[in-house]
Amino acid sequence: MAVFELPDDRAVRLTDDTVQFVQPLQLAKARDTDISPGMLASYYLTIDLPDSAGELLQRVGLIQQPAREDIAFNLKCLRAETETE
């Protein structure tokens, strides 16, 4: 039986035909527009997708880490943008 090492940034196709990354992608940068209490803010999250990933990013799942307060995202107002260098 052979064991093959995959680079951590590679994507693999599972038996149910979904594609997942070997290691979860990491949040590269985050910023918001306003940090005043009670004000609505826009959040900008940057996720770097390595060229060697071999797949396009179709969907992102965000999991908030335990903190003093949860951020309530308005799912109807979410949008994704792509940027290439």
What is the value of pTM for the model shown? 0.58
| Res. 6 pLDDT band, cuts 50 70 90 | very low
Report yes or no on 13 lying in a domain.
Answer: no
Q: What's the domain count of the chain?
A: 1
Nearest CA among 45, 43, 46 for reference residue 72: 43
pLDDT digits (tens, 9 = 90+) for 27-84: 888 888 877 777 777 888 888 877 777 777 777 777 777 777 777 777 787 777 777 6
Q: Which residue type does 3 have?
A: V
pLDDT digits (tens, 9 = 90+) for 23-36: 777 788 888 887 77
Nearest CA among 63, 19, 28 for reference residue 48: 28
Domain that holds residue 43: 19-84
Query: Quick one: how far is CA 31 from the chain centroid?
Result: 14
Report yes or no on 59 lying in a domain.
Answer: yes
Q: How far apart are CA 67 and CA 20, in angstroms?
A: 27
Sign, CA dihedral 53-30-24-77, equals: negative
